[in-house]
A and B are shown apart, each in its own frame.
Chain A
Amino acid sequence: MSGLVRLTVNGCAVEMPDGSSVAAAVATVTPHFRRSVRGESRAPLCGMGVCFECRLRIDGVAHQRACMIPARNGMQVQTDD
């Protein structure tokens, strides 16, 4: 419970407390999560899996909701930037 997990966000190494979300890990690196259809920068709105503004690519799989997924060791997270 009190351990740390290590992952990368856009290639940057990040250390987070165990139990953190991928969204939290991303926020330590960049405020931008995805580009909207008109190219605007977006970030989480609802924090609970409803709004889909936090979606990004995790280990090559697109459209993952970062706020709903626990950060895990070795994850490679990529935002839309």
Chain B
Amino acid sequence: MTEHYDVLVVGAGPAGLATAQAAAGHGARVGVIDAQPRPGGQVWRHDVRQASPHAARHAFAALARVEWLARHSVVGAETQVLRVEHPDGVRLLGYGALVLATGARELMLPFPGWTLPGVSGAGGLQALAKQGWPVAGKRVLVSGTGPLLLAAAATLRAHGAHLLGIHEQAPTAAVHAFARQMLHWPARAVQAISLRTRLAGVAYRCGSFVRRANGDDRLQSVDIEGPDGAQQVECDLLATGYGLVPNVELAQLLGCALAAHDTHPHVQVDALSRTSVAGIHAAGELCGIGGLAAARIEGAIAGHMAAGDLTAASALLPARARARRFAGLLSTHFALDPRLRTLATPQTTICRCEDVTLGELGGYTDARDAKLATRCGMGACQGRICGSALAELGRFPRSGPRPPLFPARLATLAEASPPLSD
């Protein structure tokens, strides 16, 4: 049986929640689905220790007016219907308008030792800690690039981690240039100052990155490369993140055009959130990394549009343009040091699901050929980690998705589709 929604929203992060609120305000029947057990996405992820920010609590309250479907993962798409798996079975969800708010994931770059237990993403360890992962008293080194490192470090410290330092790969001059730009964005500057205050006493080193993680069957130390040369630091946990990659897989499966001029493609939308497919909108990070403010505004635009209110959506266009300009600053000032793309050696595992090394991938120029010959990208993550890494390394772009979008139970796939005609 197919349940039908006027507006179906995929993703309950800031963009999806703003969509739901705007669409429900027009009286539409709205469904919101997310694979996670709680709303908030990554930036507003529930913290077992700390209360959510005011804006997040306000956004969660709006879910009372919609149907909130937690732990629901989209595995496939049929005509005007999504095939969705949840812990107790499968659902077919029909829609009048669909809004994709699938967000982004962290870009992980391979380096020797990155598969050791104790090495995780920066946002990754932040997310884990929020859900009770024990970091208290642990020696944690944070590395990678961008303001996300500060946010992750602040969460880890609040959970009792002993921070050894934050290693930002961008050179000092670039970070200072970014800081000067912040003068034009007072609200952002206040946020940044607040983060730095919470991180008082923690070293923030620019032009510095982790070259190697060492340990037998768990992390014991890292080799760091910096302006003053190399050093080895003993640590329990390494949180490392090189920025974000838009989650475009569902959009791609639905036939939405991607803008592929960047290394990591994003969904192509107009300012009013319309994708290339009629009736399908997209908002937030999957349309290009834009941050929290852009996600919330675009979510509201998509919600108004999905409910048919062009006037309300258009009123938000100036705010959207301003939020997107800020995002442009990030990609300019935190561009990756080319040396980061050369850290993996021929022995370094690239595909963590199938244990395929960089050496085994030599000679392949296409993701499909590499997959057929080596199984690279064929495992449970379906190339989400290694495919993005190989694209960043300049090897070859990730191949397009095929259903199921995530590993699914056979019963999920076997559930009969609805008839095509009424």
Show the binding face of A for B, using Cβ within 8 Å. 16-21, 23-25, 27-28, 31-33, 36-38, 40-53, 55, 63, 67-71
Complex CA–CA separation, A58 to B98 (angstroms): 34
Complex CA–CA separation, A38 to B121 (angstroms): 22
- At the interface, yes or no: B177 with Cβ under 8 Å from chain A? no
Listed stretches B224-232, B268-276, B287-295, B352-360; interface member: B352-360
- At the interface, yes or no: B36 with Cβ under 8 Å from chain A? yes
- CB neighbours of B128 from chain A (8 A): 21, 23-24, 27, 44, 47, 67
Complex CA–CA separation, A32 to B46 (angstroms): 25
Most chain A Cβ neighbours within 10 Å, of B120, B121, B128, B134: B128
- The 8 Å CB contact of B384, one of A18, A19, A51, A69, is A51
A-B contacts at CB below 8 angstroms, number: 122
Q: Is the CB of A21 within 8 A of B131?
A: yes
- CB neighbours of B384 from chain A (8 A): 50-51
A45/B119 contact (C-beta < 8 A), A24-B128, A67-B128 known: yes
- At the interface, yes or no: B213 with Cβ under 8 Å from chain A? no
Q: Is the CB of B355 within 8 A of A47?
A: no
- At the interface, yes or no: B307 with Cβ under 8 Å from chain A? no
- CB neighbours of A53 from chain B (8 A): 352
Q: Helix, strand, loop or mixed for chain B's interface? A: loop
A24/B354 contact (C-beta < 8 A), A32-B117, A50-B385 known: no
In the complex, how many angstroms separate the beta carbon of A8 from the nearest chain B beta carbon? 16
Contact with A along B96-130 (1 / 0, CB 8 A): 00000000011010000001111111011111100
Since A50-B381, A52-B379 are in contact, a sample of 17 more A-B pairs with Cβ atoms closer than 8 Å, ordered by chain A residue number, is: A20-B48, A20-B132, A24-B131, A24-B134, A31-B118, A31-B218, A36-B352, A37-B355, A38-B355, A42-B115, A45-B124, A46-B121, A47-B127, A51-B108, A51-B381, A51-B385, A70-B37
Complex CA–CA separation, A28 to B138 (angstroms): 12
For chain B, residues 355 to 391, give those with C-beta under 8 angstroms from any C-beta of chain A: 355, 379-381, 384-385
Complex CA–CA separation, A37 to B126 (angstroms): 28
Complex CA–CA separation, A19 to B37 (angstroms): 10
In the complex, how many angstroms separate the beta carbon of A54 from the nearest chain B beta carbon? 9
- The 8 Å CB contact of A31, one of B37, B71, B117, is B117
Q: Helix, strand, loop or mixed for chain A's interface? A: loop
Complex CA–CA separation, A62 to B132 (angstroms): 22
- The 8 Å CB contact of A68, one of B35, B105, B116, B354, is B35
- At the interface, yes or no: B185 with Cβ under 8 Å from chain A? no
- The 8 Å CB contact of A42, one of B35, B42, B117, B127, is B117
Complex CA–CA separation, A18 to B131 (angstroms): 9
Q: Is the CB of A41 within 8 A of B218?
A: yes
- CB neighbours of B349 from chain A (8 A): 36, 40
Q: Which residue of B lies closest to A30 (CB)?
A: B117
Q: Is the CB of A46 within 8 A of B108?
A: yes
Q: Is the CB of B352 within 8 A of A44?
A: no
A36/B131 contact (C-beta < 8 A), A46-B106, A46-B120, A55-B380 known: no
Q: Is the CB of A45 within 8 A of B120?
A: yes
Complex CA–CA separation, A75 to B333 (angstroms): 47
- CB neighbours of B46 from chain A (8 A): 19
In the complex, how many angstroms separate the beta carbon of B318 from the nearest chain A beta carbon? 32
Complex CA–CA separation, A69 to B36 (angstroms): 8
- At the interface, yes or no: B217 with Cβ under 8 Å from chain A? yes
Q: Is the CB of B127 within 8 A of A52?
A: no
- CB neighbours of A32 from chain B (8 A): 117, 217-218
Contact with A along B125-147 (1 / 0, CB 8 A): 11110011110000000000000
Q: Is the CB of B217 within 8 A of A47?
A: no
- At the interface, yes or no: B328 with Cβ under 8 Å from chain A? no
- CB neighbours of A50 from chain B (8 A): 105, 381, 384-385
Q: Is the CB of A28 within 8 A of B134?
A: yes
